[in-house]
């Protein structure tokens, strides 16, 4: 479910217009595909999506539909846009269930097998989580995003450590002023290990890492541009770990004490 995780990361989860029918939903999501600069020039996503839907209904049951457009080009990444309909859409799915989640895909030729695996994994996640009902009854788009992250989390063994790290980064980014406890909770949720530590930057003497992990401290102190990375505040990778800055305190003389968490995946 890597393309779904990427869509969540890039903000391509949308609440569909209330009362929208199937055609309007397909047109809405197809315009999102059209906005992708990597789609070949001259392609009309709306028309191609609707023609494919006439050939074969893309409702896979369980309250989910996966309309898609096959690219003329071989190279490229699997790309999707996600629409949520709280009221449900009469989609004509084989099981007769209204669709509450429509995931529209753009599929380059080289990604056909990746797409099929993603759909299989999506079905597995839905069944493993107990069905579409929590998403159908979600109060808002943020709740839907969190539930989709639960789906991703439930099948992370199929996605590898990179997807785990990206999921942690996304959840922490969405949190308001995340602290060490919040980062640790996200890490535990996806089966990763989190360790809190501090870094004292003392210009011009240097950087001092206070960590109980004997391997982490020397690795951090040798990291090029560590002070700049900490000051930027964003997460960064260090070997197998991802470093998150959860707070900082400034002291006289330009000294700064950073509170951090190292999250190790796998």
Cβ-count burial of 143 within 10 angstroms (0-12 exposed, 13-18 middle, 19+ buried)? middle
- Residue ending a domain, among 128, 158, 188, is 158
Question: How many residues in the chain?
Answer: 266
Whether 21 and 152 share a structural domain: yes
100 plus 134 within the same structural domain:
yes
Which pLDDT does position 60 carry in this prediction?
Answer: 92
Residues 68 and 110 in one domain: yes
Pair (247, 178) in one structural domain: yes
SS3 131: coil
Instruction: Indicate which CATH number applies to the domain containing 7.
Output: 3.40.930.10
Of the residues 130, 158, 186, the one at which a domain ends: 158
- Residues 220-229: what's their mean pLDDT? 90
Q: Is residue 153 part of a domain?
A: yes
Rounded-to-10 torsion of CA 255, 261, 265, 266: 110
**Whether 18 and 150 share a structural domain:** yes
Q: 165 in a domain, yes or no?
A: no
Looking at residue 226, its pLDDT comes to 92
Q: Would 164 be classed as within a structural domain?
A: no
Residue at 26 is within a domain: yes
Whether 113 and 186 share a structural domain: no
pLDDT tens sequence across 118-139:
999 999 889 888 899 999 999 9
Contact criterion met (CB below 8 Å) for 87 and 104: no
pTM recorded for the entire structure: 0.65
Task: Looking at the structure, tell me whether residues 209 and 150 fall in a common domain.
Answer: no
166, part of any domain: no
Pair (87, 202) in one structural domain: no
Q: State pLDDT tens for residues 53-111.
A: 988 999 999 999 999 998 888 888 899 999 999 989 999 998 999 999 999 999 999 99
Range of the domain at 207: 171-264
Q: Which residue has the higher pLDDT, 169 or 48?
A: 48
What is the Cα–Cα distance from 264 to 239, expressed in whole angstroms? 9
Whether residue 72 sits in one domain with residue 9? yes
Q: How many domains does the chain have?
A: 2
Same domain, 143 and 98: yes
Angstrom distance (rounded) from CA 207 to CA 217? 10
Average pLDDT, the chain: 83
Residue 75 lies in a domain: yes
Highest mean pLDDT: which range of 25-34, 96-105, 119-128, 181-190: 96-105
Whole-number pLDDT of residue 262: 85
Q: Tell me how far apart the terminal alpha carbons of the chain are, to the nearest angstrom.
A: 18
Do 26 and 144 have their domain in common?
Answer: yes
Among 96, 123, 158, the domain boundary falls at: 158
Classify residue 163: in a domain, yes or no: no
Task: Note whether 189 and 65 are same-domain residues.
Answer: no
CA angle 143, 144, 148 (to 5 degrees): 120
């Amino acid at each position: 479910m890597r393309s779904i995780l990427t869509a969540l990361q890039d903000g391509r989860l949308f609440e569909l217009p209330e009362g929208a029918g199937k055609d309007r939903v397909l047109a809405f999501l197809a315009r999102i595909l059209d906005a992708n600069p990597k789609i070949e020039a001259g392609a009309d996503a709306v028309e191609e999506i609707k023609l494919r839907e006439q050939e074969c209904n893309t409702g896979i049951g369980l309250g989910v539909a996966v309309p898609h457009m096959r690219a003329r080009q071989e190279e490229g990444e699997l790309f999707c846009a996600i629409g949520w309909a709280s009221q449900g859409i009469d989609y004509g799915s084989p099981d007769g269930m209204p669709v509450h989640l429509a995931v529209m895909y753009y599929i380059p030729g080289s990604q056909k097998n990746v797409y099929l695996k993603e759909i299989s994994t999506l079905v597995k996640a839905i069944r493993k989580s107990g069905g579409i009902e929590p998403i159908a009854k979600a109060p808002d788009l943020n709740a839907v995003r969190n539930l989709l992250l639960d789906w991703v989390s439930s099948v992370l063994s199929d996605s590898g450590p990179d997807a785990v790290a990206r999921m942690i980064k996304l959840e922490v980014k969405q949190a308001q002023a995340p602290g060490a406890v919040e980062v640790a909770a996200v890490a535990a949720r996806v089966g990763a290990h989190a360790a809190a530590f501090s870094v004292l930057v003392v210009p011009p003497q240097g950087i001092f890492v206070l960590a109980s992990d004997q391997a982490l401290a020397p690795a951090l102190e040798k990291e090029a541009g560590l002070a700049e990375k900490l000051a930027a505040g964003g997460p960064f990778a260090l070997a197998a770990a991802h470093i998150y800055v959860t707070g900082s305190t400034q002291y006289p003389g330009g000294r700064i004490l950073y509170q951090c968490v190292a999250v190790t995946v796998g």
